[in-house]
Amino acid sequence: MPWVQTYRKTVLSNGIKVITEEIRHVRSASIGAWVRCGSRHEDERINGTAHFIEHMLFKGTDRRSAFDIASDIDSVGGVMNAFTGKELTAFYVKVPDYHVNLAIDLLADIFTHSRFDLDDIEKEKAVVLQEISMVEDTPDEYIHDIFEKHFWEGHALAMPVLGTRDSVDAFDREQVMRFFEDRYRGENLVIAAVGNLEHDALVDCVAKLFGSLPALRLQSGESRPGTTARRCCIEKDLEQLHLVVGTPAPATLDNDRFAGILMNSVFGGSMSSRLFQEIREKRGLAYAVRSYIVSYRDTGMLNVYVGTSKDKTREVIDIILAEMRRMKTERLTDKELQSAKELIKGNLLLSMESTDNRMQKLATNEIYFGRNVPPEEIVGRIEAVTAEDILSLAGQLFTRPNLSMVFLGEMTESEMPAGDVDL
C-alpha cells in the first residue's frame, strides 16, 4: 500500500522554505528550523562558532530570559532542543497540536531577537570548554573527531563541530554576531513541520514572525575535500585500545549511496553483520564493534570502530581487512542481500511512525535534494540494488591507498601494527 502524504511547500519572499506534512490522527506537531550552517562553513580561527551560536540562542531574547524559554515550553508539556553538525544546525520543538503557534513564536523569537549578551557569551564559553573536555573523556566518541581530523586534513570537514579550546576561548561578540548575520538568513532556512496542523495557517504564522529575517547574503562556495590516508596513534591512559579504520564512501547526492547503505549493513552495520558476528560473537574480541557511513553533500566515509584490548589489536585488524577483501571479491548471497534490504526498509518504515523523524526527513530532503523524496522512491532505489552493484562499490572503496587507521589508547607509534595492509 502506498504512503499517503499531504506534503506542501511554500517559499516566502525572503527565501524561507516552509514545508509541512499534515497527519490528522496524531495530537502533536513536530516543528524544526533548519539552517545551512555548520562547522564546514568555518575556518580554524572561528572553529566552533556555529555550535556556539546554537547554545547562545537559548540564552535569552528581548522578550524572554533563558528561564522563560525553558518555562514556556515546559508549561505546555513540550520538548525543545537543538544540534549542530558539519553542514547543518537544527532547532526543533514538539508540542501538543493546539500549541503550534507557541512553538513557532519561540523559534522565531530566538532567531530574530536573541541578545547575545556579553556576560552570557563568557559564561557559555566556559560551558562549551567543559563540553570539549567531556568528549575528550569519552574515548569511543573522541576517536571519531581524531579520525576526521586526519582523514579530511586541510579541509574544513577536519575541524570538530565543538571547536578547539583555543578557538572557543578567543570568541568575541563581534565575531559571533558577524557569523550569525552571514548564515542565519532566509534562503538558508527551512521550516519543516509534521503533525496535526494546517499548512496555510503555519505559513501565515511563519511569514509574520520570521518576516524580518533578511534574504541570503553572497557567500563563498563549499570546496570538495580530498582524503588523506593516514596511520597514526594517539597515546592515552585507557583501559581499552580504541580503533577506527576508514575509507571514502558515497556522498549524500551520489547515485550509489543506496548500494553503500546495503553494503554497510552486511559488512558491520548491524548485529547480524559479518564484523559483529566474527569479532564479538565468534571470537569475543570486543564488546563494541560497528561500521557506519557518514555522508556529506559531496563526499562521505565508511568507518569501522572497535574497542578492544591492546594485545588483540592485530587480530581485530586482520579480521577487518579480511572482511573488506571478501566484500570486494565475493558476491553477496541472495539471502544476505535480501536480509539487508528488509533491514533497511524496516528501519525506514518504523521511522515513519515518528513525527520527529518525518520532520527531519522533510527538512534534509529539501536541503540536499530541493524536493520531497517519498518513502516509495527510497524503497524502490533500495530494491534496485544488485549484488554486482555492491561488489563493484566495494572494489572502488576497499583499496590500500584509500585506507586510514587511527589508534587511541596505551600504544606508541612503534607499537602500531605493521603497515602491511593487503587489500
The residues assigned a catalytic role are 54
Backbone CA torsion sign across 411, 143, 277, 420: negative
C-alpha cell at 153: 586534513
What spatial distance separates the first Cα and last Cα of the chain, rounded to whole Å?
Answer: 44
Q: DSSP assignment of 273-302, as one string?
A: SHHIIIIIIIT--EEEEEEEEEE-SS-EEE
d(CA 95, CA 27): 9
What Å distances lie between residue 227 and 47, 135, 252, 291, CA to CA? 20, 24, 17, 19
Helix, strand, coil shares of the chain as percentages rounded to 5?
Answer: 50, 20, 30
| Listed residue (4, 46, 9) closest to 25, CA to CA | 4
The rounded Cα 194 to chain-centroid distance in angstroms is 20
d(CA 158, CA 285): 30
DSSP-derived letter for residue 281 is I
d(CA 5, CA 410): 53
Interior angle at CA 177, CA 175 and CA 183, nearest 5: 105
Q: Count Cα atoms within 13 angstroms, Cβ side, for 95.
A: 23
- In a 3-state reduction of DSSP, which class is residue 124? helix
Instruction: Give the total residue count for the chain.
Output: 423
H helix count then E strand count, the chain: 15, 11
